[in-house]
Amino acid sequence: MLTNRRKEFLKAVTELYEEKKEPVHYSDVAEKMKISKWTAYDVLKELEKGEYVKAEYYLEEGKSQGRSTVRFVPTEKAYQLFERVENNEWKILRDNLIDRVKNGKSASLEELLHEMFHASKPLEFCAYAIAAFLLKLRMMTGISLESIESNILACVNPTSSLILFVGTVLGASLYNRIKSDVDKVLSENVKKFYTYLNELDQKDIHLLNNFLKDLLAVAV
């Protein structure tokens, strides 16, 4: 089992590889981790033994023989590790937000907005925003959550479903003529929500759409 320190190294290699689109030299890892290049090399060799990275050897450009340099590439095992971590983090966030919407009050809405501001990832921000929008929707008068849920479930495209939901909330706010500080904050962050939504891959879009359906199920 990898220690947290080893996971940090592996994450550094993966990020550098994704950024440069080429095998990573241990000196680049050392610079990113702010350690000596020899320490970086030793840790990467340990990760290689665990099959988390693969070492590849290259001759210097323009030379047909001589000493080669070693570079490292993250393996499928490394990506699977981070995917499991991300899935676990998402499940914790999802369950927490569903529980708060289920038992939500106005104070919870303000807390959600505060946490939304500090969300560092697009998926995380969008999840907080959806939960906040739904809490706000439930506080409005003359709104049928059953009808909204029916429209969302009938929507085939997950991206369109999310856009439809946010648009419905904005329309309901205008109908109710609500101009509280909370509404102002929600309105100001709609553009950011759409921007982040556009950055997500299809896997995360589906996660968000299923999350919205689960939220509606407990809110109705």
The pLDDT value recorded for residue 107 is 59
The pLDDT value recorded for residue 54 is 92
Q: Which residues contact 209 (CB under 8 A, 6 or more apart)?
A: 158, 159, 161, 162
The pLDDT value recorded for residue 189 is 84
By the 10 Å C-beta count (0-12 exposed, 13-18 middle, 19+ buried), 78 is classed as buried
pLDDT band at 137 (very low <50, low <70, confident <90, very high): confident
* Mean pLDDT on 1-16: 88
pTM equals 0.63
Apex CA 34: angle with CA 30 and CA 36, to 5°? 50
Q: Which residues contact 110 (CB under 8 A, 6 or more apart)?
A: 182
Say if residue 106's pLDDT is above 60.
Answer: no
Share of the chain above pLDDT 90, in %: 34
The pLDDT value recorded for residue 26 is 94
pLDDT band at 176 (very low <50, low <70, confident <90, very high): low
The pLDDT value recorded for residue 47 is 94
The amino acid occupying position 46 is E
Query: Using one digit for the tens of pLDDT, what is the confidence trace for 52-81?
Result: 999 988 776 655 555 778 999 999 888 888
CA distance 118 to 139: 24
pLDDT band at 218 (very low <50, low <70, confident <90, very high): confident
Say if residue 149's pLDDT is above 70.
Answer: yes
Domains defined along the chain, listed by start: 4-74 (1.10.10.10), 87-219 (no CATH)
For residue 59, the cross-strand partners are: 68
Instruction: Please give the helix or strand (H or E) that residue 62 lies within, else none.
Output: none
Q: Is 55 helix (H, G, I), strand (E, B) or coil?
A: strand
